[in-house]
Every structure is written in structure tokens, then in C-alpha cells.
Structure 1
Amino acid sequence: MQATPSTSKTLVDELWEKRPLIISGPCSAESEEQVVETAIRLKKTGKVDMLRAGIWKPRTRPGSFEGVGTIGLPWLQKAKAATGLPIAVEVAMPKQVEDSLTFGVDVLWIGARTTVNPFSVQDVADALRGADVPVLIKNPINPDIELWTGAVERIAKAGIKKIGLIHRGFSSYGNTEYRNAPMWHLAIEMRRRFPDVLFINDPSHISGRRDLLLPVGQKAADLDFDGLILESHIDPDNAWSDAKQQVTPERMGEILNSYVWRHQKAEVENTELEKYRQQINQLDDELLHLLGQRMKIADKIGAYKKENDITILQTNRWNEILDSMSAKGEKLGLSKDFITKYLDAVHVESINHQNAVMNE
């Protein structure tokens, strides 16, 4: 099949500089009708700059829907012809890069399951060598910022001039609120490392739920992200993948209208200092969240002790914690005095929680 020429370079260049840049579309391309209708309805919102759709879907277990494959690329061509929206596709292997470029895909992105493997990233980078196409790079699944940085470096060495980042959250043990824990401080650190690179947020994959798209996207806007990539489907409840995090194009328009995009104040004299302060704020938020989780466990311990007539204070256990944590803290550059004061405060709060449970 003859490839359709890509959208004019001028349009893609203009969108790459646009703030905020909004990318939306279905998690997976399922049919020509679904892709084209989604694009047309998203275009009508007047808020979407680019159409995304999953053609190849790397899944955790075999037997799951893994995308329609190359046959879906002509559907994207027709959606682009009908709306004028440039199209973006995820690639994970050299053949996928080749097929995408053949069918005039305007922007490629590397997914989290690929970023986590340097060999896979290098294969994609080698396939991109000599191509003139923008590439977005999602953070790896696990919270390893060096893997993310390494992916940027590999794609840059392949000669790609337009490189962007997508923050889609990280897999985290014990995480319950989000599908993927945002760990905003890691995104902020990547922004510090690559201040001039397009950096967009993915509320859909962070949230995993429609009701969180607005607060997560707004937080990204408040943290000065350059745009968002969100999933939209004409029939979200019956989507073949990630149904719970997708919304109709019309609802997407409402959400996009609700976001408030602010600008950094020009009079801020030390932007580097401001970035460090944002990192501290995010880490403090996460520390409080972890402490809250710790106290919930303390409540369960209190209930167990009550049922089994065990005293709250266990001196030997407390001494072991002090010795162990003091040693670990010193290796991390924390003074023994600080660790002792911190643990004392946590211990007192834990005792108070257990006491409240035991004496209800």
C-alpha cells in the first residue's frame, strides 16, 4: 500500500512548541469506524491537537488483546485526512518503527515497558537512525530515573532532534490510590535534567480511573508540565483495553475545559531553587502519605495486641529498630541525633494509635 505523506513539517513543528499540547485518542485502535469517529468528535471539542491510538499493545500476559497491528495504521491515515490532526503511535520494535514511518505517522512514542529495557530502546534507536520524526519517551515502569535518562540519551544519539518526555507514573508496591503512583518528585527531577525538552503528563495511566483525570491533570498543569496525553473512546465501557480510564470525546472536552493552565512568574529570580523546593514539597507529601499508611498498620497491631492481651510497649523490639535504623540513616547521610528524634516521634504516634484501639 502506498504510504500517505505525513502532515506538513510546519504543523508538527508548531504543535511541538504549543503550550499546552493536548494529545488524545483511544487506548487501542479497534476498527476504522471507531478510530475515525473518535478523531472527528475529539476535533469538535476544539481542544485536541493530536490523535493517539495504540496499534501494538504490549501486555503482561499472553492471550490478552495486543493490538490490531499494522492493519490499523491506514485507519489512522483516514482519521488524519478527516480531521487534519497529526497522529501518534507507540513503537517497541524496529519493524513497528518501519511500518509507522511508512504509513506517515507524525509522532512516535516509546512505552514504559520498552523504556525499562535498554536493549529494546537501543533497537528502536537504531531503527530511527536517519529518520526525521519527533519521539516521546515514557518513564520506565519501575521508578528508575537513570533508565529514563538513558533512553533519552540513546534516542538523541540516533540523531532524533525533537525528543519529548511522558510522565505516566510508576508501579509501586502497596499503591492503592492510583493505577501507577505518580511519584511527582521523579518527574520534577527529569524536568531539572532536561529543562528544554517537551514534557507532558499522562493522567490516564496514572489514574486508571476516570474520576481522577481532572485532579491529576490539574496537578500536572500546576507543576508546569507542557501538556497532557489522555485516552478517549466513543464507547469507553466496552473498550478492548483500559476501559476504566477512558472517557467519551465529549466528556474529554469538558475535562480539558476545566483545567486551569498557569504560567511561571517571570520575576522568579532563581528557577533552579524553585525546582528544588517543588521536589521537597512532593517528597514531603509522599512522606506524609507513607506515615499515614504506617499508622494504619499500627492500628492493626493494636487490635491484635488487644485480642491477645499483649502490652503496647515491646522494649526489645524498639531497641532493635533504633539500632538498625540509626545505622541505615548514617549511611544515607542522616545524623544519629536526627534519626533518634524522628523515630521517637513516630514511635509515640504509633503508641497513641495502638492505645486508642486497645481502649476503645
Structure 2
Amino acid sequence: MPYASTAAQLAVTSHFPGKKPLLISGPCSAETEEQLLATCTQLAATGRVDMLRAGIWKPRTKPGMFEGIGKPGLPWLQKARELTGLPTTVEVATPQHVEDALAYDVDVLWIGARTTVNPFSVQALADALRGVKVPVFIKNPVHPDLELWLGAVERLAQAGVADIGLIHRGFASYGNTEYRNAPMWHLPIEMKRRLPELPLICDPSHICGNRTGLAAVAQQSIDLDFDGLMLESHIDPDNAWSDAKQQVTPQRLAELLDSLTWRQHTSTEQEFLDKLAQLRTQIDQLDDEILHLLGRRMQVSESIGRYKKENNITILQARRWNEIMERGLRKGDQLGLTDSFIRHYFDAVHLESINRQNSVMNT
């Protein structure tokens, strides 16, 4: 069954609190009452934040790392809510976390990436939330598995959670890269395509793992029509007890937000709509031509597969594949296409060609 149909049957809704863009900020971890209250009051004073966040429980990689202040931090967050008038949100990973957070009037909960990856944990949270009217954000799982992310939405929807939102915080990848967690933008875009009614916000702090890339990642998400941002802020980032490199002061956060270009989803100007329709018609026509050409290419691949079968020749011809890729890269460069796109394109075409020839050989 297509996922869209399943989502419709589960009545996944979009009445999420706040506005677009929804801006959430606060420290990675609540460390002391003074630190949390000072950060939250300064954030509120900027006039740019809609919701306060703070890590109360922190799932960490190794024992001995700071794993959050725990339940004693909840009264601090409750006091920040009273002082600023802003709603609050925290990450929960166990049913007890849910119970404790709600006891201290936390307005919105979120499920973290290391919990989303485990269906047993998500189901336990869904059971704990059954009958509770509280909005819940779901972060993408640590590794790039779209079905796990969708499965978490289903589990909460089946438990009757009416207001569900999504947070894109990037995906873990082995080795040193440009990002702490690779954004892999095609995955949140696919989530938005499948579940267009659910608000989707971006967490540049966890994608970047540093301060320098925050603005660029935030702007990319805005350009992709995300519904908001979650950014970590601390009054003294360099001395934060967790994730010091990716946090910014409330003042720097305000400057960062002011530097962004906030875009509209569409326009009511008829001239714009007419011109866009013309260009999209051209795109549709070109896509049709490309698909027809790809169809013809696969027919030739099948002919090659039959010829190889008749002569008992292997499907994979590494030298020929290298020639195709090198030729494609040269041609792509002449046409202004990136190497990354050409490699992805030819990898996909080559895999389909292999599948076609394999089918011919084994029929």
C-alpha cells in the first residue's frame, strides 16, 4: 500500500503550534539553573525565538560523558517558560521521560535520532503518549533509513498523537566529512513529498557540528521550503558541557537569523505564475524526451545482453564501464554539469542496464 494512503488512514495532521518559520532555540544541555535561565531570557529578549529547547536527558556515545542533568533540570525549564512566556520543548527517550516532562508542563516533546532508529523504543514512547494531547517532533534516524522515519510517524499516529512534526538533523556517515551529520537533502525532500501536511524543520546545529556552517545550512533549508529551524544557543558556548563547537550566543543567533533570506512558498502575482507555468512546461517536455531516450538506451542494453548470452560473455565489462564514466565526466564538464551529478546519473543508468542484461541472460 502506498505510504500516502496509510498516512491518510491514520489521520496524520498538520495543526502544529507556532508560525512559519517556527524558530526553536536553547542550549544543547541544561547545565545549571543560572545558565539555563540566562540563556532563555536573552533568547526571548531578541524577539526572534518562538520556542525554547534544552537537553534534559542526553543519549551519549560512551559512558562517562555528560548525559544531562536529568529530572532536576525540568523545574528550571518550567521557570524559563514562566519568565519568558515562551513554550518549551525537550527530547524524550523513555516513557518515564514523557511522564516527567509533562509533569513540569513541557509544551512540545521531540524524539531524538538515536531513539527513532529503534522501533521498540519508538513504540514504547507511542504507548506512553496514548491519550495524551501533546505535539511531538520526530527527528530522522541516525542512519539514512527513510522507512524508519516513516515508521515512527505511523507508530505515533496509531497511538492517537494528533500533532506530529519532523526534524531533519542529518545522517551519520563514517569518517571525516564536511558535516558532522551529512544533510542528504533528498531524504527530507522525499519525506516532504510523502507527508506534505506535516511541518518539517531543520536542525543545522547537528548537521554542521560547528558554528561556521550554520547560516549556509539554514539558508539551504529555507530555500527548500522547510517550516522552521532548531538552533542551539548558550550564553558561554566555548565552555558548554556538551556540543560546544556548534552552539552560538543569543546575540550571535539573532545576527544569524537576520542574515537569512526568508522566502515565500509561492506568489499570487499572475505574471510570475504564468512565466513559471511556461518554464515548467518546458521541463515536462524535456523530461519526456529524456525518458524516451533512456527507454531506447535500455532496449540497446537488452540487445547487448542477448548477444553476450549467445557468446557466453560476462555482463560486467569493467574497462567499458570506465570508458563510459570518463566520457560522461568530460561531456558533463563541457555542459556545466557537476562530477557528482554525472557519477550519480551514470551509476543509476549502469545499474539498470546490468539488471536488464541479467534478466535477459537468465530468462
Q: Is the 8 A contact 1:15 1:21 kept in 2?
A: no
Residue 215 of structure 1: how far off its partner (Å): 0.5
Residue in structure 2 matched with residue 323 of structure 1 by the alignment: 317
Q: Is the 8 A contact 1:91 1:97 kept in 2?
A: yes
1:158 paired with 2:149, answer no
Find the residue that maps to 1:58 and give its secondary structure: coil
In structure 2, give the amino acid aligned to 1:323: Q
Residue in structure 1 matched with residue 289 of structure 2 by the alignment: none
Residue in structure 2 matched with residue 260 of structure 1 by the alignment: 261
In structure 2, give the amino acid aligned to 1:237: D
Residue in structure 2 matched with residue 45 of structure 1 by the alignment: 46
Residue in structure 1 matched with residue 57 of structure 2 by the alignment: 56
CA 1:94–1:257: 2 relative to 1, 3 Å: same
Residue 158 of structure 1: how far off its partner (Å): 1.0
Residue in structure 1 matched with residue 135 of structure 2 by the alignment: 134
Residue in structure 1 matched with residue 186 of structure 2 by the alignment: 185
Residue in structure 2 matched with residue 75 of structure 1 by the alignment: 76
Instruction: Tell me the number of residue pairs that the alignment of Structure 1 and Structure 2 aligns.
Output: 281
CA 1:323–1:176: 2 relative to 1, 3 Å: same
Note the 1:299-310 alignment, pairs <5 A: none
* TM-score, normalised by the number of residues in structure 1: 0.73
For 1:165 and 1:129, how far apart are their aligned partners in 2?
Answer: 19
Find the residue that maps to 2:17 and give its secondary structure: helix
Find the residue that maps to 2:75 and give its secondary structure: helix
CA 1:341–1:149: 2 relative to 1, 3 Å: farther
Residue in structure 2 matched with residue 65 of structure 1 by the alignment: 66
Deviations along 1:98-152, one digit per CA (max 9) or x if unpaired, are 1001111000000000000000000010000110100000000000000000001
For 2:257 and 2:199, how far apart are their aligned partners in 1?
Answer: 19
Residue 343 of structure 1: how far off its partner (Å): 2.3
For 1:24 and 1:348, how far apart are their aligned partners in 2?
Answer: 46
Residue in structure 1 matched with residue 358 of structure 2 by the alignment: none
CA 1:346–1:103: 2 relative to 1, 3 Å: same
Q: Is the 8 A contact 1:16 1:198 kept in 2?
A: no
For 1:135 and 1:260, how far apart are their aligned partners in 2?
Answer: 28
1:226 paired with 2:227, answer yes
Residue in structure 2 matched with residue 107 of structure 1 by the alignment: 108
Q: Which consecutive residues of structure 1, in runs of 5 or more, have no partner in the other structure?
A: 1-12, 278-318, 327-338, 350-360
Residue in structure 1 matched with residue 308 of structure 2 by the alignment: none
Residue in structure 2 matched with residue 10 of structure 1 by the alignment: none
Residue in structure 2 matched with residue 118 of structure 1 by the alignment: 119
Q: Which consecutive residues of structure 2, in runs of 5 or more, have no partner in the other structure?
A: 1-13, 284-312, 332-363
Note the 1:340-359 alignment, pairs <5 A: 342-345=324-327
RMSD: 2.7
Identity %: 63
For 1:325 and 1:243, how far apart are their aligned partners in 2?
Answer: 49
Q: Could you list the runs of 4 or more consecutive aligned residues of structure 1 that deviate by over 4 angstroms after TM superposition? A: 266-271, 319-322, 346-349
Residue in structure 1 matched with residue 5 of structure 2 by the alignment: none
* TM-score, normalised by the number of residues in structure 2: 0.72
For 1:195 and 1:261, how far apart are their aligned partners in 2?
Answer: 20
For 2:85 and 2:211, how far apart are their aligned partners in 1?
Answer: 27
Residue 176 of structure 1: how far off its partner (Å): 0.9
